[in-house]
Amino acid sequence: MKQATKIKKEKKKVLIVDDHPIVCAGLTHLINQEEDLAVCREAHTAHEALETIEEIEPDIAIVDVSLKGQSGIELIKNIRIRYPELPILVFSIHDESIYSEITLRAGAKGYIMKQETSDKIITAIHRVLDGNIYISDRMASKMLCKFFDNQPGKNGSPSELLSDRELEVFRLIGMGFGTRQIANELFLGIKTIETYRAHIKKKLKLKNASELIKYAIQWVQSEKLF
């Protein structure tokens, strides 16, 4: 009598892109407990991430929004151009009410916040690996409402009128950050942030800095209310 041969399922290779060692260690431990998943490498910068993808060809990349040097959003765009078949899940501390839409628009397939439970993180990874989109139920409802809302504001929505980087700057203005603080947060020069502020004012048809700050604060608050 022939013995049944047990076929071992090959594990999916996971690349973690995050510049916080403690976060990487915790996420690696969580993922490696799964029978079908294995963390193949950690990358701490966008440049390192792109080199690693070329080298090991992971099945999924888990990317943080905030990276030193090039932002996670710019990295997502670059991955989409160079490796369009690689699914990306964003794993971030930033508020999903603002950043999930930006990252999905950049090319990510899912967004989950770092404070979510372990089972939800694993569910998100599997959902994205299966070719689906993963966002929280709250964000799914919000995006559906925005899709069916046919009453845009007089100047249009900031998320529609601004580029991803301009929207990041606009969000930070609304959170009370000054120009220097924004520059430090995004690893950009002060003059660059001043240029973004000027572009934002022009696109949103705002007269001065006071109107920009007021509108940004209102927008950030309204995005969190849903």
Chain CA centroid to CA 135, Å: 11
Average pLDDT over residues 161-181: 89
Q: What is the pTM of this model?
A: 0.72
Average pLDDT over residues 89-103: 85
Distances (CA, A) of 27 to 15, 30, 64, 202: 11, 5, 12, 42
- pLDDT confidence of residue 62: 97
Contacts of residue 11, defined as CB under 8 A and 6 or more positions apart, other chains included, come to 35, 36, 37, 38
Chain CA centroid to CA 136, Å: 13
Burial of 94 (0-12, 13-18, 19+ CB in 10 A): buried
Residue ranges of the domains in the chain? 12-138, 154-225
CATH number of 12-138: 3.40.50.2300
User: How many CB atoms are located within 10 Å of the residue 146 CB?
Assistant: 14
**Mean pLDDT across the chain, nearest whole number?**
86
Query: In whole angstroms, what is the distance from residue 117 CA to residue 125 CA?
Result: 13
The predicted-structure confidence for 188-220, as pLDDT tens digits, reads as follows: 899 999 999 999 999 998 999 999 998 888 888
Contact 64, 72 (CB under 8 A): yes
- pLDDT confidence of residue 163: 86
For tokens 């409802």, the residue is 141
Reading the block at residue 61, the tokens are: 């990349």
Contact 196, 166 (CB under 8 A): yes
Phi then psi dihedrals of residue 210, to 5 deg: -65, -45
Helix residue ranges, H only, 4-149: 21-32, 46-56, 72-82, 96-106, 118-129, 137-148
Secondary-structure class of domain 154-225 per CATH: mainly alpha
- pLDDT confidence of residue 1: 44
User: How many CB atoms are located within 10 Å of the residue 117 CB?
Assistant: 8
**Do the strands 60-63 and 88-92 form a parallel or antiparallel pair, or are they unpaired?**
parallel
The predicted-structure confidence for 26-46, as pLDDT tens digits, reads as follows: 999 999 999 999 999 999 999
What is the 3-class SS of 194-219, one letter each residue?
Answer: HHHHHHHHHHCCCCCHHHHHHHHHHH
pLDDT at 9 over 60: yes
Look at 94 and 6; give whichever has higher pLDDT: 94
